[in-house]
Every structure is written in C-alpha cells, then in structure tokens.
Amino acid sequence: MSTPPRVVLVDDHGLFRAGVRAELDGLVEVVGDAGTVGEAIECIVEKEPDVVLLDVQMPEGGGVEVIRGVAPRRPAVRFLALSVSDAPEDVISIIRAGARGYVTKTISGPELADAVRRVAGGDAVFSPRLAGFVLDAFAGQEGAPPEVADELDQLTAREREVLRHIARGYLYKEIALRLGISAKTVEAHVSAVLRKLQLSNRHELSRWAVQRGWVE
Amino acid sequence: MVTVSETQPAPLRRDRSKGVLGGVCAGLGRRLGIDPLILRVGFVIAAGAGGTVVILYALCWALMPAAEGDGRPLMARAVGRRESWMVASGLVLLMLAVLLLFRAWGVWVGDAVVWPLLLATGGGALIWRQSQGAAVVDAPVRERARPGGGAGLPRRVLRLARPSLAIVAVGAALIVGAALVFLWLNGALVPDRDVTLAVLVVVTAMTLILAPWWLRLARGLTEERSERIRTQERAELAAHLHDSVLQTLALMQKRAEDPREVAALARRQERELRAWLDARPRREPGASLAAALEAAVAEIEDAHGVPVELVAVGDRRLDERAEALVAATREAVLNAVKFAPRAAISVYAEVRGERVEVFVRDRGPGFDLDAIPADRRGLRESVLGRMERHGGRAQIHTRPGEGTEVELVMSA
C-alpha cells in the first residue's frame, strides 16, 4: 500500500469518533469527521476522501441519507458501514443504498484499517455476521432450477463457499489458501455477492429481515 | 419508535396550491379537517340553487389570507392597513351594497333566505374562529429522536383555550337572530304555521353554536388519550433502563479494576438491550437449535468474560440429536476459551435441510493434535465421543500457530 487511504468519519457520537480516530492513527489518514447527516454530506463533498466510515443509525435519516446525498455529487467516494446495530434490516438497507461493506463497532483498530484499505481498493468487506445474513437471505434455493429465478437472485456454489468461510471467521487470504484460489478471486466473489445483494429483486431480502426470529 | 402526529389545527388560510378556484374550499377543508371535495360539492349545489353562495365564496376569497404571501387577506392588503374594525365594517357595508345590487337586479333567492343566512354565517364564523383556535397548546420539548427504539419523548401541555366570551356571545346572538329572522320571514312564528320548520331551524342554530365545542371536546379527548399512552411508554422505557442499563453501569463502576469482569458485564448488558430493542419474541433456549446455541454462547461469555461471535444460518427444532450438538459446541467453545485466552472466538452454525454443521474457530496458538495425551478427555470424550454416539462426526483442524477449528456435522 503506497499512500494510506484518506478517510472521513461519520458518527453522531463524538466520543466514538474520537476513539476510532485514535485507533486508526498512523494506519489511515483521517481527513475529517462529522456528527450529523448535513455536516457529513458537506464534509465529504469538500474533502473527497477515498473511504467514508459511516454510522448506520443517526438522526435525520442515518447513513442511508448520507450516501444518497453524496453519491450523485462524488460518485468516486466509497462507503463502509460501521455500526453497533446487527439488525438485518439496518444492514440490508445500508448495503442496498450503496455501502461497500459492513463491520460492527467491536472490530479492532488494525482490522478496521485493513477493511478500509480493502474498500479503498474497490473490494467489498463482509463481516462474519453480514456473511451469515446473506447466506440466510439467499438460503433455500440451492436446488431451484436456474430458469425460475433471475441469476442475480441466487448465489453460485463458489460464492456460497466463500461466504461460509467468512461467516466461520476466516480472513480472505486464509480462504484463498483453503479453497486453492487466489486472494483476488476471493475478492471478486465477495464483490459479486455484494452486487447481487444490491441489485437482487428477491422479495425475501426485505421480508426475510422481518421474519427472522420466527423460524418454525 | 414513537411517532407523534402534530395535530395543531391549521390556521384558516386559502390554499392556492391545492385549490381549484381560489383555494377557499381547500383552506376551509384543511381547517375543519374534512375533505375539501365535500365543501366544493356543497358550494356547487348551493350555487346552482341561487347566486348568493357565489358572493359568499367571493367574500371568503377576499377575506381569507392566502397560505403563502404575507398572510394577510387580499382586502387588508388592498386597503393597505392591518385588519381593524374599520376595515371590517367597511367590508360589511361593501358586501351589503353588493347584495342590494344583486337584489335590485333580480339575481336573488329571496329575502327569507339571504338575510338569515348572512347573519348565521357571520355568527358562526365568530364562534368557530374562537373555538378552533387552540384546543391543545403544544409545547413539544423534543429530545433528539434516536432511531431504533430510543423514542424521542415530546412533552405536551394540555390546555383548553379560553374563548373570548364577548365575541362568542355576539356570534351566538347573530345565529339566534338569524334563526328568528328566518322564522319570522317565513311566517313560522305565527301559531299554526309549520312547527316542523321551526324545530328544524332551532336545532340547526343550536348545532351551529354547539358543534365547535363538541368537536373541540372530542379532539381534546383523543389528545389526552395519546398523551396518556406516551406517558406510559415513557415510564416503561425508564423502568427498563433502570433495571438493566443503570444497574449494569453502577456495577461496572464498582468493578472498574477488573477489566474481564467489566467486559463480561458490558457484553451481557449489550445482549440484553439488543434483545429488547429488537422486540423479537423471546426465544426460549429449549425452543430451537439456534436459540439453544445462543443461550450456550451467552452463558460462556458471561462466565469467562470472553466475547464469542455466533452466526447462525437457518434453524431447526431442538431434538435429542440437536441437543447433543449444542452440548458438543459448548464443550468446543469452552476448550477454545481455555487454550486460546485473549483470542477471538467465532461460532458458525448452518442448517441445510437435515444437515447441521457447526464450526467453532479460535485464533489462538493451535496445537499438535497427536501430542495430546489420551487421558485428556475434554475434546476427545465430550466433543468427538458425543457426536459419534449421536450419529454425527467431529473433526479438529489445528496446527501450532494457526489457531483451531472444530467442525461438527450432524446429518440425518
């Protein structure tokens, strides 16, 4: 990595921003932070960072609103959602708005920096939990005949395998080693899954989030 | 999330953006809380019956301030001063002149209708203006709304407006006068004339006078009810935070010197709060495989103060075999806690049809599987043995320096 990625932090808790700033110190270049949706849009448009670390839940629309405000004006800026919430509907909505990944706030500093670098490089970042969500949402159609569903509406066997490893807590390079593919291929699979997550018409994607917890 | 509808009555304004002609019906409808279409139909029917209503509409148009602009009626702006009794009386005279003109031209429904109608309209307007003003005075002291459960708690003050008695009296007098004039002009006051008509007119007059209060009362009751619900919600929220979060925070301050204990307390509170915010029906640990795994992991986290990340995909009924799987998982996680302290532990469970797989992974030092003495029963007996007895299998993948993963598979 030649130059560290430039990052803007968006979170309505000042204390949390300060904590993340300290943790990322020296690993990435934090060029700005913001505590409200309006401030965030202004700051991002002005600073044009590589990656925005974005809180999902904020007053006045939250992270989704920030992405909507910035995307048309600065399409090159990438977003990584960082949240305490692990409610499926929050995760899915921010990913569908265009975030390149989702990590929870309990992530360690070096891991977060690594995730930021990967998002800056154009890859997707899936936490184990997000991988679990996706597997859950796309579950139950492995045997379905391909003509029934749009190809965006299902995962390939390989993508499924990669996700399963992420959910089990493996890093990309470990997954590459285990599956005998290159790390780049792993990243390509993950990006493909992210695209499907954003574009798929599976009505289960929205409904499943609600139904989860009523299994059986 | 509690949503609060702000039900402050809209001021009487012409709504040109939504109006068909001058926005009078739209404005009236918004103020009275009824569909402007009803008013429009009424106006059209009345206009068909006689020309007076057209004048009434024109008057409304001139007198009602527009929603946009400087908020003053057209007439007031035309006169160039603020509304005062001089302007008002001038307008009344002007209106009278117009009416007399129409009367002279023969565009007229008849004295017996127009004059009482005019009086009643004036009186009604006065009373309604007074009573619609402010049934509830809102003072929304709104804390910042936090999405995802923490409700913004607005405080409202319920206060009945005190209408000016004099104006109401004048309004009532005008309406009663209108009723009397109507009856008199129609000869209903003479005995033996139409009693039904008299009763009808009296009832109409009473309705006109009393309806605003009745409406206000009804609205006030609704307000009070939602206020009560809000208060209850707030009390419930406060009670919950007291019993859980505040207690835990107090405990954490006391145990500040023991980081493990603090982490465990924080973790337990986090889990509890999440469950509460999610408002999912609480799953009993005995109900399903995923719920049982959740409970087992939670128990270990609490007992050892180590975070364990559980991701479960799919779910199934908790039968004897699933119970064995949960017990084996528990043992594997405990083993990870023991031999890989300080390392992140993740548990991944997936149900696919009849096949259930569980992976317990830690990033600890790992070990040489063959070097473990045969009498070390932990993994061998409680994990491998248990799985095999129930028709499943278990595999341990580990090497020194590479962490450990225990793979448990149960298939029908």
Strands A51-54 and A29-34: unpaired
Mutate to test the interface with A, among B267, B269, B293, B348 (most CBs of A within 10 A): B348
> How long is chain A?
216
Q: Are residues A99 and A29 in the same domain?
A: yes
Q: Quick one: pLDDT at residue A149?
A: 54
End-to-end CA distance of chain A: 48
Q: State residue B143's pLDDT score.
A: 38
User: Domain for residue A216, yes or no?
Assistant: no
CB-CB neighbors (< 8 A) of A168 in chain B: 346, 348, 359, 361, 405
Same domain, A155 and A107: no
Å between A7 CA and nearest CA of chain B: 25
CB A167 to CB B146 under 8 A?
no
Give yes or no: residues B116 and B65 share one domain: no
**A154 and A49, same structural domain?**
no
Option in B274, B287, B346 nearest A128 (CB): B346
Structure confidence at residue A69 as a pLDDT band (50, 70, 90): confident
**Residues B347 and B390 reside in one and the same domain:** yes
Residue type (1 letter), B386: R
Same domain? For B171 and B200 the reply is yes
Write out the residue range of the structural domain in which residue A166 sits: 126-211
Residues B205 and B348 in one domain: no
Residues 6+ apart with CB under 8 A from B256: B262
Q: What is the spatial distance between Cα B44 and Cα A47, in angstroms, rounded to a whole number?
A: 60
Domain containing residue B9: 1-109
Decide if A57 and B147 are in contact by the 8 Å CB cutoff. yes
- Residue at which a domain ends, from A76, A105, A122: A122
CA distance A102 to B353: 28
Q: Do B146 and A57 lie within an 8 Å CB cutoff?
A: yes
- Same domain for B77 and B1: yes
Q: In this structure, are B94 and B7 located in the same domain?
A: yes
pLDDT band at B348 (very low <50, low <70, confident <90, very high): very high
| Residue of chain A whose Cα is closest to the Cα of B145 | A59
User: Do A106 and A49 lie in a common domain?
Assistant: yes
Whole-complex ipTM: 0.77
Contact status, residue B404 vs residue B361, Cβ threshold 8 Å: yes
Distance (Å, whole) CA B275 – CA B329: 22
A139 belongs to a structural domain: yes
A216 touching chain B per CB within 8 A: yes
**Torsion angle, CA of B23/B26/B27/B32, rounded to 10 degrees?**
160
- Residue A135 sits at the chain B interface (C-beta within 8 Å): yes
- The pLDDT, as a whole number, for residue B280 is 58
Taking CA atoms, what residue in A is nearest to B282? A213
CB of A169 within 8 Å of a chain B CB? The answer is yes
* Residue where one domain finishes, among candidates A61, A94, A122: A122
Q: Fill in the amino acid letter for A74.
A: R
Residue B149 reports pLDDT greater than 50 = no
CA distance A205 to chain B (A): 14
Query: Which residues from A are below 8 Å from B315, CB to CB?
Result: 215-216
B350 with A135: Cβ contact below 8 A: yes
Min Cα distance A29 → chain B (Å) is 27
pLDDT at B142: 38
Q: Do A169 and B278 touch (CB under 8 A)?
A: no
Cβ–Cβ < 8 Å for B277, A85? no
Determine the pLDDT at residue A80.
Answer: 92
Q: Do B350 and A164 touch (CB under 8 A)?
A: yes
Q: What is the tally of structural domains in chain B?
A: 3
Rounded to whole angstroms, the Cα distance separating A44 from A35 reads 12
Q: What is the mean pLDDT of residues B162-183?
A: 73
Residues A57, A151, single domain; the answer is: no
CB-nearest partner of B313 from A57, A135, A214: A135
Average pLDDT estimate for B130-144: 44
Highest mean pLDDT among A87-91, B84-88, B254-258: B254-258
**Domain count across chain A:** 2
Q: Which residue has the higher pLDDT, A204 or A24?
A: A24
Question: CATH no. for residue B335?
Answer: 3.30.565.10
Q: How many angstroms separate the CA of residue B204 from the nearest CA in chain A?
A: 49
Nearest-by-Cβ selection for B312 from A87, A132, A169: A132
> What pLDDT was estimated at residue B208?
78
Tell me the C-alpha distance between A78 and A116, whole Å: 10
Say whether both B88 and B220 belong to one domain. Answer: no
Q: Please check whether residues B345 and B303 belong to one and the same domain.
A: yes
Task: Tell me the count of A-B CB pairs closer than 8 A.
Answer: 68
CB contact under 8 A, B314 and A139: yes
Interatomic CA distance for residues A192 and A143, integer angstroms: 20
Mean per-residue pLDDT over chain A, rounded = 81
The pLDDT of residue A21 is above 70 = yes
Chain B contacts in chain A segment 75-94 (CB below 8 A): 85-87, 90
pLDDT greater than 70 at residue B105: yes
Percent of chain A topping pLDDT 90 = 8
Average pLDDT of the residues of chain B:
74
Residues of chain A positioned with their CB less than 8 A from the CB of B290: 215
pLDDT tens sequence across A32-67: 888 888 888 889 988 889 999 988 888 877 888 888
Looking at the fold, whether B281 and B217 belong to one and the same domain comes out as no
| Residue A162 pLDDT > 60 | yes
Could you tell me the two tokens for A184? 């780049």
Task: Answer yes or no: do B311 and A164 touch at CB < 8 A.
Answer: no
